């Protein structure tokens, strides 16, 4: 008799907008708070989740039993707002490895300012390598899977670093990470499981859904 492998479904959410997002400034690991637009975006996603889970609209998997968040305030506040979608408390764990990619000396600058200071062909030799980002995101995934081996969890993080969970689910190379666009409060769904013959594999069910903002 065959058995389906235990699945872990992750609802992946990029944080809401900040002033630096609106100004197109490199944020990286600077702790920039949500602005009012970002809070409104988070509330709209919260209302969407509430409609799905409290009224039984059969669209999203879940409800999640755990929340995980980057420790940066824009992600943590987004997670705190989203937690209001549920009629019962959902435990939230901050994972430092979920933080955004560091952009070093470019953080706080627009590209126009980067070009003015460093030239149009500027290379950022102070930013975090993709290898480093990928390694810590896989560490974060391992911590999540240890806490929630199967079921549904929500992960609130950042546009740069969350893309590594998408490419990991696809089994794609890290070179493909920049090809994914993740908007503020965009919702993606990735499923991971250990196949008895193929090992750890995953699949994507949704990428960057922002229909709650329309």
For 187, the token pair is 């919702």
The answer to whether residues 165 and 190 touch, using CB atoms and an 8 Å cutoff, is yes
Domain encompassing residue 163: 7-101+130-213
Q: Report yes or no on 44 lying in a domain.
A: yes
pLDDT in tens, 12-67: 999 999 999 999 999 999 999 999 999 999 999 999 999 999 887 778 999 999 99
Asked, for residue 117, whether it belongs to a domain, the answer is no
In a domain, 78, yes or no: yes
**Number of domains the chain contains:** 1
What digits encode the pLDDT tens for the residues 38-50?
999 999 999 999 9
CATH code, 26: 3.40.50.1240
pLDDT above 90 covers a percentage of the chain that reads: 75
Joined together, the tokens standing for residue 133 give 């980002």
pLDDT for the residue 195? 67
Mean pLDDT of 72-100: 95
Q: Say if 116 falls within a structural domain.
A: no
Q: Is 121 part of a structural domain of the chain?
A: no
Q: At what angle do helices 36-54 and 73-82 cross, to 10 degrees?
A: 30
For the chain, give the mean pLDDT.
91
The answer on pLDDT for 170 being more than 80 is yes
Assess if residue 107 is contained within a domain.
no
């Amino acid at each position: 008799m065959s058995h389906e492998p235990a699945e872990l479904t992750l609802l992946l959410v990029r944080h809401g907008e900040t002033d630096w997002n609106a100004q197109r400034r490199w944020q990286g690991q600077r702790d920039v708070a949500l602005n009012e637009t970002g809070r409104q975006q988070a509330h709209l996603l919260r209302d969407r989740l509430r409609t799905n889970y409290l009224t039984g609209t059969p669209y999203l998997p879940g409800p999640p039993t755990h929340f995980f968040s980057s420790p940066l305030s824009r992600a943590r506040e987004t997670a705190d707002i989203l937690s209001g979608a549920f009629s019962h408390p959902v435990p939230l764990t901050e994972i430092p490895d979920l933080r955004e990619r560091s952009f070093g000396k470019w953080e706080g600058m627009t590209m126009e300012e980067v070009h003015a200071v460093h030239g149009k062909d500027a290379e950022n030799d102070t930013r975090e390598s993709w290898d480093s980002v990928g390694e810590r995101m896989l560490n974060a995934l391992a911590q999540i899977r240890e806490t929630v081996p199967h079921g549904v969890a929500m992960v609130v993080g950042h546009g740069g670093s969350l893309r590594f969970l998408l490419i990991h689910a696809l089994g794609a190379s890290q070179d493909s990470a920049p090809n994914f666009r993740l908007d503020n409060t965009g919702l993606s769904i990735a499923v991971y499981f250990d196949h008895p013959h193929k090992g750890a594999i995953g699949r994507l069910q949704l990428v960057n859904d922002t229909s709650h903002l329309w």
